[in-house]
Structure 1
Amino acid sequence: MKIKTLKWLIAGGLVSAPLLHAQITYVDADLTNTLVGGNSPVAEGNITSPDRPNGDNLWAYDNDSNFANPTPSDGAVWAGGSNDTGLPELTTTMTGLVPSGLYEVYSFGWTAGTTWDMSAGLQSGTLTQFRNGPAGRYFPLGNLTADASPNPSTSSEVTINGVTYSFSAPLETSEDNRDLYLCVLGLTFADGSGNIPVYINTYDGGDRTWYDGVGYRQITSPP
């Protein structure tokens, strides 16, 4: 897949200068659109579900969570524990996009403080490590919503670097001591069938990874 960087993006590749509002479409990473090491997920086979990670070197698909999107009752998170090593790469494929259309792509995870992390990217095996950074590409949304005092807190929009982003559906952005965070993965073109794969793994030598889903916005008028 062809990946292109546009120099007119500012704030670490987030938005163009004239942009004042944009909508991000959230796509939940679930058992129907996510592969584990290139294979379909199989409970108690190549993943554990609904159990949390237990050092068995398998991804856990926790669908009994009270903080996952798209809503706490319908969502799930992919969890890799701090004692799990060498986990296979996850591939979540976004479908139904404009064939060959240009998109900015995001991944979403959960953190408590600054120690929970993930690796993510648009090319298999070439992932960026996100833990409280890199600056301009990592945003804890629970700290950015207008009112994060309810517990849990749900938001329909967030403002980053003066740009208001609305979500296609409200997202839970904080719960207890946890915050949802957004990672900016960059720009890429959908393939001829309107698909974009996103690649996820744990952070090398990091703490736990709680991966929730991905998102996109179409770039329609590059200058």
Structure 2
Amino acid sequence: MTMPVDSRSLSVEPMFFRPEVTYVDADVPTVSENTVLSAAYGNTSASGWTVRSPYGEFGSILQMTSEPAELTTTMRGLQPGGVYDVFAFFWDTKGLEDSDWFVEASLDGLNYTAYPASTLDNINGPVFEAASARIVAGLDPNVTLRSGLSPNDDGDQTANGADEGNRDLMMAHLGEQTADANGNIVVHIAKHTAGERVWFDGVGHALKVAGEPVEDYWHVGVGTPAIHVPNGDPAQLDWGDGSPNDADSSSVYRVFDDVELAEGQSLTLTGTVEFSGLANNPDYGNGFRIGVFDHAGSSDPDGWLGYWSGNDTPTSSAGHLRKRDKPNSSHFLSSNGASTILDSFNGATQFLQDNLVYDFTFSLTNRGGHIGIQSELSQAGVALVSHSAVDTTPHTLTFNRIGFLVADPLNADQVRLRSVTVSSTGGPVQSPIESWREAWFGTSEDSGLAADLSDFDGDRMPNLIEFLLMSNPLDPTSPGTVFTKAPTGGFQFSLRGWH
């Protein structure tokens, strides 16, 4: 049987573009300002990136012609932990007739890929005509996107009323990226590859997998650094995006379940830290700080209690171990406000340096209601700070926060925390009968079957007597004790088979 053919043309929407794309304009405030030069209309001679106007979305684009300068654009306000398709938008001129403009981009700042307009493929990508995508938000209403790229017909291109109408807005699919704990994704743009002109205009995102709130992730305390949790692992943090001073004058913290230190119990923070972009031999004691805290019912970090330690340098007399006193209204890692210096270290033989891995440990132990504190920051076994002190009047025995701070003079671009672990060891010292209950009944509590007056095995000897005679409380025939009435009244005990 022959079916009739519908003579109407069929329009097939590319599967790739079914997600809704949001455009984010890369204006100067959202990129690394130190690499952008302001340029008047028509100026193409300035080195590095130049601002060209009146072109592109919202009247300006960023042009790169020869220098290998790099830009970063951060998309904010995304779902933490959400997986996004990420795009870079760039312009091409006169279709594919006599040019091949491109963009070179990276999601990690290390591995760059060039996306030339000549690889345009509106079905499979990775370069697409922006007009063929479902861009649902962020575009300039004064820019008209016209689909159907035709190399021989410039009038069929994306047109901005402010230019000569022969340019086309392209978008390159850079891959998938997971938004960090603050809902940020960073896109890196460069021109390391020789080729035609780069007119970079913005970035875009399309949600693929919704993020789920993850407790125990990192939070920014002060400052506005970008933070990223690699692989969603709370034991890791990239703090600062690598642009100049992005991690400087800022702090981060992480939440964990309350640990109330019982007698003999310890709480220990360990991990490693590595810095990028530090000032040369930063002569600033306490420039990097590590601490363990209790929120103490405070609605903001200024009211936290606890302890922190700062690094020493060869020429400073700092390296303090501080206790936060109460009431306190300063930042939890600040040296201002109510605090007590419990110990000082003045033996550092090196400054903090870029790209070296430092080990840190910070331990608190309940010693009869006093808190013993030990901390160390070292590199290859050489301590930049080491503390040992006892706080005889602690304000809290409960802890639920760890925190880190980089002070302004360090000029840090990024701080990388790895293998960050909070562990609790030891605990209250058990009495002999508590240990006995634990061994036989799996609990140290004087309750239920393990209670002192309970007789689990029915031999008429309660657990307290079984404990005193070291007999088996689960077996009425166990050797070790004979329990009989004495001739003169009362009871007598005789040991049987006990050594």
Taking the aligned partners of 1:55 and 1:179, their CA distance within structure 2 comes to: 23
Amino acid at match of 2:89: F
**1:110 aligned onto 2:91:** yes
1:30 is aligned to: 27
The corresponding residue for 2:18 is 21
Distance 2:59 2:78 in 1: 22
Cα deviation code 1:186-209 (max 9, x no counterpart): 101011111100011126111110
Give the Cα separation in 1 of the matches to 2:139 and 2:180: 28
Shift of residue 125, structure 1, vs aligned partner:
2.8
Q: What residue in structure 2 maps to residue 125 of structure 1?
A: 110
Which consecutive aligned stretches of 4+ in structure 1 deviate over 6 angstroms post-superposition? Answer: none
Cα distance in 1 between the residues matched to 2:76 and 2:88: 15
Q: What's the offset of the Cα at 1:58?
A: 1.7
Partner of residue 54, structure 1: 44
CA distance in 2 between counterparts of 1:188 and 1:215 reads 12
Higher RCO structure, 1 or 2 (CA under 8 Å, sep 6+): 1
**Conservation of the 8 A alpha-carbon contact between 1:78 and 1:212:** yes
Relative to structure 1, the CA distance from residue 91 to residue 105 in structure 2 (aligned partners, 3 Å threshold; closer, same or farther) is same
User: Aligned partners of 1:29 and 1:55: how far apart in 2?
Assistant: 21
Corresponding residue to 1:90 among 53, 57, 71: 71
Report the Cα distance in structure 2 between the residues aligned to 1:52 and 1:203, rounded to whole angstroms. Answer: 23
Instruction: Give runs of aligned pairs for residues 139-158 of structure 1, distance below 5 A.
Output: 139-141=128-130, 145=131, 158=132
Gaps of 5+ in 2: 1-13, 146-157, 160-164, 211-499
1:215 to 192, 204, 211: 204
What TM-score, normalized to structure 1? Answer: 0.67
1:123-157 per-position Cα deviation (integer Å, ceiling 9, x unaligned): 1031110112275200123xxx4xxxxxxxxxxxx
Q: Secondary structure at the match of 2:119?
A: coil
- The answer to whether the aligner puts 1:205 opposite 2:194 as a matched pair is yes
Look up the match of 1:75: 59
Question: How far apart, in 1, do the equivalents of 2:120 and 2:190 lie?
Answer: 16
Contact 1:29 1:214 in 2 (8 A): yes
Contact 2:39 2:46 in 1 (8 A): no
Question: Identity, % of aligned pairs?
Answer: 29
**Cα distance in structure 2, aligned partners of 1:109 and 1:213:** 7
Q: Could you tell me which amino acid in structure 1 is paired with residue 25 of structure 2?
A: D
Aligned 8 A contact 1:90 1:201 in 2: yes
- The answer as to whether partners of 1:117 and 1:208 remain within 8 angstroms in 2 is yes
Q: Which amino acid aligns with 2:115?
A: F
Structure with the higher helix share, 1 or 2: 2
| CA pair 56-76 structure 1, distance change in 2 beyond 3 A | closer
| Greater C-alpha Rg | 2
Q: Is the 8 A contact 2:103 2:115 kept in 1?
A: yes
- Using the alignment, how far apart are the partners of 2:43 and 2:109 within structure 1? 23
Deviation at 1:92, TM superposition (A): 0.3
Larger strand percent: 1
**Do 1:116 and 1:206's aligned partners in 2 also have CA atoms closer than 8 Å?**
yes
CA deviations over 1:6-57 (Å, ceiling 9, x no partner): xxxxx8xx83xxxx8321111000122111xxxx347xxx513334553442
- Residue 187 of structure 1: which of 168, 176, 190 is its match? 176
Rounded Cα–Cα distance in structure 2 between residues aligned with 1:203 and 1:140: 23
For the residue of structure 2 that corresponds to 1:192, the secondary structure is: coil
What's the CA shift string for 1:65-95, capped at 9, x where partnerless?
Answer: 1x411xxxx33100012xx233x11100000
Q: CA, structure 1 residues 208+111, in 2 after alignment: closer, same or farther (shift >3 Å)?
A: same
Query: Which residue identity is paired with 1:111?
Result: D
After superposition, where does 1:143-182 map in structure 2 within 5 Å? 145=131, 158=132, 165-170=134-139, 172=143, 173=145, 174-175=158-159, 176-182=165-171
